[in-house]
Chains A and B, each alone.
Chain A
Amino acid sequence: MGSSQKLNVARSFTQIVMLIQLSACSPQSTSFKTVCSNFDELLGLNNYSQMTSIERNTWLLNKSLETLPTNDMALQAWNAIANATASERYELYRDAALSTGLKSWNCESMELAAYEVGAN
């Protein structure tokens, strides 16, 4: 391997490490905002009213997975809370968001429709 190739490998490695560090430092608020904005988008779908609550949940998770890693806290929290009693979901998710250290968190679309997005 030539010296320029070694340099390229080293640069690539450094970039990967920086990316990992950046993703690790992302504030939780961004993740919870992402899930909320995906919820906004879900409610705006033309076929929303025709979808079952399981289909809506699957759409939300797939959409969130486009930008969030599977181990993201906001995503994992929704994944678990989607199985909770419908009427409790928003409060549970808000508690989850606040437990990450956020001073405040709310999501109007989720407050409005969390009960109809989930496993039941």
Chain B
Amino acid sequence: MTSTAADITRENKNLIQNTSGIIASVGLNQVGKRVAGNIVTPATWALNYAADGSTPGKEDLMLFSAGFAALSASVVVGTLKAVVDDRTKRQLQAVKQKENPIHRKHIKACVYLDWSPSPITASKIASAGGTAWLATNGLWCFITDAKGHHICDYTPNSFLKLYQPSMPLSEGANGGFLWEVRKN
């Protein structure tokens, strides 16, 4: 019997969840109650959703969503889709092909999210607790969970630059998170 991507994910969920769950929980303890202005999802939550549809508990969500109400990615994703040109679509498709199939449909181009130039949008995403990266084909991308919340600890298979919150998650200025740049 052939294993589907969902089966493989389900079978490996605990291993993956333990690893990133530790990171996420350490981060949450450090973050405290008043920090996370934006709704952020650790990769493990997104993975759970993909594997069995389970979502984070109310207490976890409270910790992540406490603070000022900021726009989650889902609110604005889609607004600019109509103006994204074919070249961007082709680039995005190429980026998706390099990533795990279960993540592909949640990878978007930064130009979908904001009118700012993509490097600025990527900085805003990282400061809001999400992950954004410059792909090898020059496209700035970001990833959300199925509900459109930013994912704080996703590592793409391929990137030139990666903007991502520092772990453990720590309070930055103005309701944001401290973040860092990784270069390949």
Q: Which of B58-66, B78-86, B173-181 contacts A (4 or more CB under 8 A)?
A: B173-181
CB interface residues, B 162-184, toward A, < 8 Å? 163, 166, 171-174, 176-181
| B127 close to A99 (CB less than 8 A) | no
Interchain CB contact (< 8 A) of A83 among B116, B119, B178:
B178
| B120 close to A80 (CB less than 8 A) | yes
Any chain B CB within 8 A of the CB of A73?
yes
Q: Give the secondary structure class of A's interface.
A: helix
Q: Which residues of B contact A (CB under 8 A)?
A: 116-120, 123-124, 126-128, 163, 166, 171-174, 176-181
Q: Which residues of A contact B127 (CB under 8 A)?
A: 79-81, 83-84
CB interface residues, A 89-103, toward B, < 8 Å? 92, 95-96, 99-101
Q: Which residues of A contact B (CB under 8 A)?
A: 54, 57-58, 61, 73, 76-77, 79-85, 88, 92, 95-96, 99-101, 118-120
Q: How far is the CB of B16 from chain A (nearest CB, A)?
A: 27
Alpha-carbon gap, A79 to B127, bound state (A): 9
Q: Which residues of A contact B172 (CB under 8 A)?
A: 82-83, 119-120
Residue of A nearest to B170 (CB): A120
A79-B174, A83-B172 in contact; A99/B117 too (CB < 8 A)?
Answer: yes
